[in-house]
Structure 1
Amino acid sequence: MIKVDALGQTCPMPLIMTKKALREITEGIVEVSVDNFIAKENVEKLAKEMGFHHESIQEGDIYKITIHKVIKEIVKKENKEDNTVVVIASDLMGEGDKDLGSTLMKGFIYTLSEMEDLPKTIIFYNKGVTFVSENETTIKDLKNLEARGVNIISCGACLNFYHLQDKIQVGKISNMLTIIETQMKATKIIRP
């Protein structure tokens, strides 16, 4: 049994920690401890989506989710034409509180770097270019993605506008033609 202590962790960390633990075993049990209801619900949903049986118990303020990983013959349909593109056009995710929006966007990039299925390309433009040039946390996550084969491109005009053209630390500087062509060829576009 692998025990995952995700107490005090906020989204998406309990899910990422659970996925890592499940990847470490071919069969067996993973017990995840969380201390908030939303994390419990998210871990249960993850187990269900992955096709694993799970049970949950509550002990005071702590939820324990036991996931039973059993090998099943799963035929994964490989789509060789998959060309997912992620477009990040802002330094915020959603509307509303700016601090929350900033935290969510950094969390999105980190979570993306922890995924097994990766996009083919990530495009940064407008204020999104700050993630490839100024934010050390996201630069580390983006370098991880680039090392795993993700093409990272940033709008050159946007880098110039924000005076960041000499500060780019990951990916390549691109242009509007390439940005448009990349999106036109995409099988799916994700815009956080």
Structure 2
Amino acid sequence: MFKINALGKACPLPVIEAHKALKDHDAIEITVDNEIATQNLKNLSEEMGCTYDLTKESDTHYTVRLVKEGAAAEEAAAPQTSGDDYTVVINAPVMGIGDDKLGKNLLKTFVYTLTEQDVLPKRIICYNGGVHLVVEGSESLEDLKNLEKQGVEIYACGACLNYYGLTEKVAVGSITNMFRIVEMMRTANRIVKP
């Protein structure tokens, strides 16, 4: 059984590590330090057709075992490739409404998690406050560069970059205009907005 120590790792890292391991192993054991991680791993087990076994060692030590169930599990774990293209639209430097510090961290985690998906987005469009992600010093810059290297198109609104004085600091993707943004959003198969 392949073992993973995810103690001290924040969501969604335990799920990402388990998902990766299940691509190469039929059974894994992952140690986490919070109950939310165990619930997220249970959801993963259902999505991938695995059996789920939880042992609570203490309030900060849980061991989860995931075991694939035959050929049906292999089919469920296979990446989907047809009809699943999607466009991600980011229009703020934070994710959600509430505490901005939390929102900034959530958005950084969201962009990183995109890099770990079986089906990458076709494109990422940034406008208004979202253009802060594509410039020098952005905490998401390396993840966006990684996505671009894998073929994801990244666009930033030129008018928005000008408004924030960031045009000269763009470090990933292409500068575009609102006409093109509307066209890309109008013709997108699906739009995902954090």
TM-score computed with the length of structure 2 as normaliser: 0.92
Structure 2 residue aligned with 1:68 = 67
Which residue of structure 1 lines up, in the alignment, with residue 8 of structure 2?
Answer: 8
Unpaired runs of 5+ residues, structure 2, are none
The answer to whether structure 1 residue 123 and structure 2 residue 125 are counterparts is yes
Equivalent residues of 1:34, 1:64 under 8 A apart? yes
Instruction: Choose the corresponding residue for 2:187, options 156, 174, 185.
Output: 185
My pick for the range that moved more, 9-18 or 87-96, is: 9-18
Runs of 4+, deviation exceeding 2 Å: 73-79, 134-137
Take 1:183 and 1:33, find their aligned partners in 2: how far apart are those partners? 41
Alpha-carbon deviation of 1:110? Answer: 0.5
Between the aligned residues of both structures, percent identity stands at 44
Q: Deviation string for 1:29-85 (max 9, x for gaps)?
A: 100111100011001111111111121111113111101124515287642x44311
1:156 aligns with: 158
Q: Which has the higher helix share?
A: 2
How far apart, in 1, do the equivalents of 2:96 and 2:184 lie? 24
Q: How far apart are residue 152 of structure 1 and its match?
A: 0.4
Equivalent position of 1:18 in the other structure: 18
For 1:56-95, list aligned pairs within 5 A. Answer: 56-61=54-59, 62-73=61-72, 74=75, 78-79=81-82, 81-95=83-97
Aligned residues, how many?
189
Q: How does 1:26-41 map to 2 (within 5 A)?
A: 28-41=26-39
Task: Output the TM-score relative to the length of structure 1.
Answer: 0.93
Report the RMSD for the aligned CA atoms in angstroms. 1.6
CA distance in 1 between partners of 2:176 and 2:188 (Å): 17
Kindly indicate whether the alpha-carbon contact (under 8 Å) linking 1:83 and 1:185 is maintained by their aligned counterparts in 2: no
Matched AA of 2:56: Q
The Cα shift of 1:9 comes to 1.1
